Structure 1
């Protein structure tokens, strides 16, 4: 690997901080951090593994922040976290057998539906209506968490946003949904990271400094989200969803 340049390192630190600030609230930080790593000239597989190292550091930080402020449902997360981990592990395994490009058109459709639904429900997610688990909610939670965990291991990109949307459907407000989503996103991230470690696909010289920047970004981002409340998170969620839609359209039709 080429000698590390200070300018490139500063670029990654800024990109990492920005990505983690956004990702700590609504997900989608990979739209910034992964292209930044690819810009350095790292091979795609190494860039993916390095991004997972940095983003795992960020997601752990934001998870701790949401936990400390009481913005997660601890008993529910204890039950759902293993499902996210299992789903991600299966996704990482399956992606070795099936090209992930097969899923991209479906993901685009889902993102559009999620964004339109959020925009048309004016008061949705501004206050929590969650009043405990029912059999129907439990079946939904088990299925959707495992599926999104699988998606993160198989394809990734917008995983945090999908987790957040799932918790909104269960009745949590935007801030609680963001907190719960980060816990499960951390689980799927750490699972994928273990696989990248196994295949020696992590470039620590970039991953660790970027990860430290992500810790700072995640800490500030989660605090801002908790302070400003659900209306702020909703706006950021819609903006990130629109960007994700744009990226998927570009990848599908023009790349």
Structure 2
């Protein structure tokens, strides 16, 4: 019973992060299941099955709060679903551990860029109403869907920072659109896992516990996205990207000591806090000058 309550709390916390920042549910939940002894494919299958329901709740909440660009969602769904299904079917034979550090390195740099842009570069006042083009979203959806299924989480960490870096839509609508489109991606990944693994590999007790916590957090996260200032939302997303991918890089190959890892995290938190302070102060001064 205690383990189920912990899983429900993790589901709640993971969805609160994922729904408000556009990433985090899969990575957080999969890491926990692996820690509890689940096999990688079974952990990813269980998380994606839970995400089908939590993402549906999250998508409905984002739509109700006006956080969604429907054009972006429709253009992400098909390639994302194809990539997720393919990734799920071939998870057991793919060198995910070999590829993951390179993807993490790219996303780490992208995270620094996102923070720099939202902290120091003047933001657009008006964004493209039609969102992103098919040429931008089709390859992105395929790669992100594939990474999501093979890594147990990757749709948000790959898609959200890339779209934020383009600066062609409001941050809240990017987060809401990515989160809403993830329903189809999770469903396709789940179907792929069921085809390749079968129902027996899924831990239904764990799925239901994570699902319950995630559903409670979905509307709260969508409300936070609507109310949070764009510059704060962007910097928070950038920080989560950096911390998530830095962890992958520092733990690759056992090259770094614990002291070095903790020092690196301390430096990142200081830089992250500085960026939030600079951005908040700059936007406060801008508001005063307008008045």
Q: Same fold (TM over 0.5)?
A: yes
**Structure 1 regions of 5+ residues with no counterpart?**
1-5
Q: 1:34 aligns with which of 15, 30, 41?
A: 30
For 1:240, the equivalent position in structure 2 comes to: 240
2-side partners of 1:124 and 1:29: how far apart? 31
User: C-alpha deviations, 1:115-165, integer Å up to 9, x for none?
Assistant: 12112213476755224368xx33122222222122222334342132112
2-side partners of 1:138 and 1:31: how far apart? 27
For 2:177, the equivalent position in structure 1 comes to: 180
Secondary structure of 1:132's aligned partner: coil
Flag the 1:34–1:130 CA change in 2: closer, same or farther, 3 A: same
Structure 1: 4+ residue segments shifted above 6 A: none
Secondary structure of 1:144's aligned partner: helix
For 1:3, the equivalent position in structure 2 comes to: none
2-side partners of 1:126 and 1:68: how far apart? 25
Flag the 1:64–1:124 CA change in 2: closer, same or farther, 3 A: farther
Q: Between Structure 1 and Structure 2, whose CA radius of gyration is higher?
A: 2
Deviation at 1:232, TM superposition (A): 3.4
1-side partners of 2:9 and 2:76: how far apart? 33
Q: Is the 8 A contact 1:161 1:237 kept in 2?
A: no
Determine whether 1:102 maps to 2:74. Answer: no
User: Cα RMSD between the aligned structures?
Assistant: 2.3
Flag the 1:107–1:37 CA change in 2: closer, same or farther, 3 A: same
**Structure 2 regions of 5+ residues with no counterpart?**
256-291
For 2:189, the equivalent position in structure 1 comes to: 192
Q: Is the 8 A contact 1:158 1:244 kept in 2?
A: no
Q: Is the 8 A contact 1:86 1:149 kept in 2?
A: yes
For 1:14, the equivalent position in structure 2 comes to: 9
Secondary structure of 2:169's aligned partner: coil
1:4-153 alignment, distance < 5 Å: 6-25=1-20, 26-121=22-117, 122-123=120-121, 127-132=125-130, 137-153=133-149
Deviation at 1:211, TM superposition (A): 0.3
Q: Is the 8 A contact 1:84 1:149 kept in 2?
A: yes
Q: Is the 8 A contact 2:75 2:137 kept in 1?
A: no
User: C-alpha deviations, 1:78-107, integer Å up to 9, x for none?
Assistant: 233111111212222343433212311211
Q: How many equivalent residue pairs?
A: 248
For 1:254, the equivalent position in structure 2 comes to: 254
Give the stretch that moved more between structures: 70-79 or 198-207: 70-79
